[in-house]
Structure 1
Amino acid sequence: MPSQPLAGVTVLDLSTILAGPLTATLLGEFGADVIKVEQPGTGDPARRYPPLDGDTSASWALLGRTKRSVTLDLHRPGAAEIVGRLAREVDIVVTNFRPDTLRRFGIDFDDLRAYRPDLVMVHVSAFGRTGPYADRPGFARVAEGFAGLTYRTGAPDGPPTFAGYPVADGVTGIYAAFAALLALRQRDLTGEAQLADIPLYEPLLRMMEDFIVDYSATGRSVQRQGNRNPHISPNDLYRTRDGCWVAVPASTDRMWERLVEVMDAPDLAVHSSMDARIEHRAEVEARVAAFVAEHDIEPLLARLHAAGIAAGPVNSADQVCADPHIRDRGSIVEVTGADGRRRLVQAPAGRFSGFTGSPGRPAPTLGEHTAEILHDLLGLSRDEIDDLRDRGVV
């Protein structure tokens, strides 16, 4: 394997569940050595999310990969010192405890900076470290509602609707990994410690590029429109004759012209601008839906693609895993876990000319690397490690 860009970078993962751990995993997929700190006896709660594969969550194969596991009870005397000594040996600390919890444990930014003056910390939290809501608890669904994503999702005559996956965790995890690299670069340029304060809601708010500017221009908030797009028509999910669903977003005037040709509907060409198509959305969407309903999915997609029209199926998990394009690119890979079981998981996203991402080491068993890291990184003796175990610290 070519040398990975983050080889030689060490990350201390002091986070649980999804967004924070995803941040660390993404860094690990491109070469970073990730040390995950977990609660003795129980570990990351994500280890127990159903469905279970044996006694561990099936998703742990993905959520825990690239990491080494150290158990450490942050409630115990002496734990904060161990975290500090670990922070001295790593490049990046990732955490998602609430700000007041970090202060109570004695492992906040200033605490750890005493051990490493050029510390890089990425702090993911629900509402950020500042502002009146800083110490409120929150998860992805709270952040999605707070940022406005849930408000605009769902049918026009129905209630607000969550997306099918807690997207705030995914978007924030990716954004926080990006922030970690920015902070690391700035640290290397200046030699100064860096703190990246990333609330769950802010990357979502940034992602919805039309949400605030539209309100600023019109005085009205974007409302729920089901699968339709407030700025584009046609843009919906349409059902085929054989009962499948396809996405057909005609996002440009040229794409619309091609679709009109394929539909053999010259009368629709009068709606040549996006403004006109939005004004006559009911007619446009109904005609496209009727056209799609006359065809089975495979010949329909072949016809649309041949005409240069963006369109695609709505895939279930089994269809994703069987898709020839996904298989050819290796977007899904089979890995062997620490327990010897083989599982399908997502590969690191993207392909690069000079390096490659990797699923890395398999997801660890709880505390699998405690003794190894305490000895190799901190220089603790076997007797010292045994004493920490006896006192319930590790």
Structure 2
Amino acid sequence: MDGRGLDLGGGSSNGYSARPISVQTYRDACARLTGQIFGDGSLYAFGPDTKAPPPLGETFAWGIYAGETLIGWSFSHQKDEHTVYMADTGILPEHQGRGLYTRLLPQMLDTFQTAGYTLVQSHHRATNNAVIIPKLRAGFLIQGLNLYEGGLNVALTLGLNDTYRGAMHVRSGFQAASGEVARRLGLPSTLQPKSPVPESVPLPGGQGDDTDLGGGYVLRRVAYETYYDIYTQLEAAVYSSVSLNWSTPPHLEPPAYPRYTWLIGFENEVVGWHYSRQWDARTAYMVNTALLPAHRGRGLYSRVLPPVLAALEAEGYDLVRSHHHATNNAVLVPKLRAGFRLQGIQVDDHGVMAVLMLSFGTLYRDYMDVRSGLKQPVGEVARALGLETP
């Protein structure tokens, strides 16, 4: 982006644009508009400043305009010798939901890379999917959660080179270390084994009518035993992640719980599956979804989610929980777009996992926003938390 700014769409005269602005202009806009943009959030009120702020280093400030009217901003500054920190982006509510942030983001990232940075970091309220989704689609990876004066934040980092991104996949257990990534991590290089080409598995009969997923694909409800038999046949062709290899089998049998299983079919062959089970009295757990490599990148996961979620809701669940490698954006993005919210990071047998939760009702959804600090408690959620204003 040069000094003339960037066209963000909507026509030349009254459309949207982004232009470089001074830090003072950015601060003046914050003072004037912050209440309108972030007024519903919950932020701890510190007392008077006792220390001068540290120097910012290199700064990057852009104003977002509708015609000639400033309606938002984005401000970033140098954090260290490798990192630029995207500190603050705000757009007036009446101009949100129009893709402005998504169109501005690539231009900012190009500017940071040209300036010589290796990493781009940002923090966002953990339930603010409107910002988290475009960040993940741009290649940012979830790197943690922290509880701070504004609530619960998710930390995101973008590596402006492939090596750092690869290192994060190794850290999460999503991929094995190899080549330059392994060298930089001080790990032995392991060639990623090629997934075996599976023999075709005929699509067995199901329970009830199929769901048409479009493009010749169907979703078919089946018995758990049918699913599990096919899962064991095709598992090696689907997964390339690095899980803990226990030296002994489990000593206990798994607890009994209701299970819900589907197969994904194409031309009368199995190309994927989904397995969910009960987690607790209110919650279903989406255990496992997989597609054979040749059928990925076609939007199938996004098309499988609605009928599976509808079936779980019909079973009486209030919530749906799932876990995914924290760097597996190909799954995290469609889950967040479907309404799931990030609720945690955990380490288990499979690696560093992001915990997601979907609420079918508004109460728990509002509760998550209150806990993250994104919204103030009002109405039903305020009553449920005992925080009603007298």
| Same-fold status (TM-score > 0.5) | no
- Higher RCO structure (Cα 8 Å, ≥6 apart): 1
What TM-score, normalized by structure 2, do the two folds share?
Answer: 0.27
Q: Going by fraction, where is strand more abundant, 1 or 2?
A: 2
